[in-house]
C-alpha cells in the first residue's frame, strides 16, 4: 500500500496516518542523541558507550608478599615464601650499622639487583634500596652481601603491575636528617610525574621503632622488623607532590629513601 506523505505542523514530512509527535519529541537531548536512524526508517536505541572510547582501566599495581631476615655475618639471604609471579618487581632493602658496600643478587647470583644511592652516616650506619624488575616465575632467594663483616638486615618485597623496563619514575633521599616534629615523621617530599605509582620508602635510625607509612594523610602498610629499620608503601593513582616517610616513636637522625615505581 502506498501512503500519501503530508507535512506536519512541526515541519516534518511523514507517511499519512502513522505520525506520533510524542515519538519524535519525547526524551532529554542526551536521550535523543542515543537514538540511531536506520535505513528502514525505524529508530533504535544505541547501547551506552557503544562507539565511544572507553575510560582507561586503573593500573593493577598490587602488593604480593614480603619477608625479612638478619645475619651477623658478611651476607644474609631471604627466600620468598611463595613462588614469585612472572613480570613482578622485586624490591630489597638492606640496613647495617657498619660503613660497608652492599650488593644484592638472586637466583644463585645469576641476577643482580639495581642499586639506588647508598646512604651512610657515622651516627646511623648504612641503608640502601635495590630493585629487580620483570623477574621470571618461580622460587626466589635474595642474597645481600657486604664488603666487610657486619650485622645485616634484609627485607624483600614483591609487587605486581609495575613497568617491566625502567620502572622508576622518581627517587630522592635524605641523609641523617633530623625528625620533623610534631609528629616525629622523617619524610621526603617527591613529585611524581605520572599517575598510578607505587610509593616505597625506607627509613633507618638507631634504636627507634619506625612504622605507619604515610603519604600526606594516607596511611598504608609498613614494617619495622627491628628497632631503627622501617619500610612501607602506598599505591596512589594521582601524580604530583607526595610526602613519603614513616612515623617513629622518638626523636633522632634518620636516613630516608623515597622512590616511586610506575605502572606500565
The pLDDT value recorded for residue 7 is 53
Q: How many CB atoms lie within 10 A of CB 189?
A: 12
CA distance 228 to 35: 65
pLDDT in tens, 75-114: 999 999 999 999 999 999 999 989 999 999 999 999 999 9
The pLDDT value recorded for residue 179 is 67
The pLDDT value recorded for residue 53 is 31
Sign of torsion over alpha carbons 99, 104, 110, 112: negative
Asked if residue 61 lies in contact with residue 263, where contact means CB atoms within 8 angstroms, the answer is: yes
CA distance 20 to 18: 7
The pLDDT value recorded for residue 37 is 23
Name the residue ranges covered by the structural domains of the chain.
Answer: 62-262
Phi, psi of 29 (to 5 degrees): -55, -40
The pLDDT value recorded for residue 21 is 37
DSSP string, 22-87: HHHH-S-HHHHHTEEE-TTS-EEEPPTTTTSPPPPPPP--EEEEEEEEEESSSEEEEE-SSPBPTT
Residue whose cell numbers read 499519512? 16
The pLDDT value recorded for residue 227 is 59
Q: Is the pTM of this model over 0.85?
A: no
The pLDDT value recorded for residue 9 is 52
pLDDT along the chain (264 residues), means of 10: 51 47 31 25 29 44 92 91 97 93 94 96 92 97 93 93 96 82 71 93 74 46 65 89 76 85 95
pLDDT in tens, 180-215: 664 567 778 889 999 999 999 888 876 666 654 444
Amino acid at each position: 500500500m502506498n501512503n500519501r506523505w503530508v507535512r506536519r505542523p512541526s515541519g516534518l514530512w511523514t507517511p499519512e496516518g502513522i505520525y506520533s509527535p510524542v515519538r519524535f519529541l519525547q526524551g532529554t537531548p542526551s536521550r535523543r542523541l542515543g537514538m540511531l536512524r536506520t535505513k528502514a526508517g525505524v529508530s533504535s536505541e544505541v547501547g551506552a558507550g557503544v562507539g565511544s572510547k572507553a575510560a582507561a582501566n586503573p593500573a593493577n599495581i598490587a602488593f604480593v608478599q614480603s619477608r625479612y631476615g638478619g645475619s651477623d655475618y658478611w651476607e644474609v639471604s631471604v627466600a620468598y615464601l611463595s613462588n614469585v609471579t612472572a613480570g613482578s618487581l622485586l624490591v630489597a632493602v638492606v640496613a647495617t650499622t657498619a660503613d660497608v658496600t652492599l650488593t644484592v643478587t638472586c637466583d644463585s647470583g645469576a641476577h643482580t639487583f639495581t642499586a639506588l644511592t647508598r646512604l651512610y652516616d657515622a651516627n646511623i650506619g648504612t641503608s640502601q634500596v635495590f630493585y629487580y624488575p620483570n623477574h621470571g616465575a618461580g622460587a626466589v632467594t635474595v642474597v645481600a652481601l657486604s664488603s666487610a663483616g657486619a650485622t645485616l638486615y634484609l627485607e624483600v618485597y614483591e609487587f605486581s603491575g609495575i613497568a617491566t623496563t625502567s620502572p622508576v619514575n622518581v627517587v630522592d633521599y635524605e641523609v641523617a636528617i633530623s625528625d620533623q616534629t610534631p609528629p616525629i615523621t622523617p619524610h621526603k617530599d617527591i613529585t611524581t610525574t605520572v599517575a598510578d605509582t607505587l610509593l616505597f620508602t625506607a627509613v633507618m635510625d638507631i634504636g627507634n621503632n619506625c612504622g605507619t607509612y604515610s603519604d600526606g594523610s594516607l596511611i598504608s602498610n609498613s614494617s619495622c622488623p627491628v628497632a631503627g629499620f622501617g619500610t612501607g608503601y602506598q599505591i596512589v593513582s594521582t601524580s604530583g607532590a607526595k610526602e613519603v616517610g614513616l612515623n617513629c616513636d622518638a626523636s633522632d637522625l634518620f636516613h630516608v629513601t623515597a622512590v616511586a615505581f610506575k605502572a606500565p
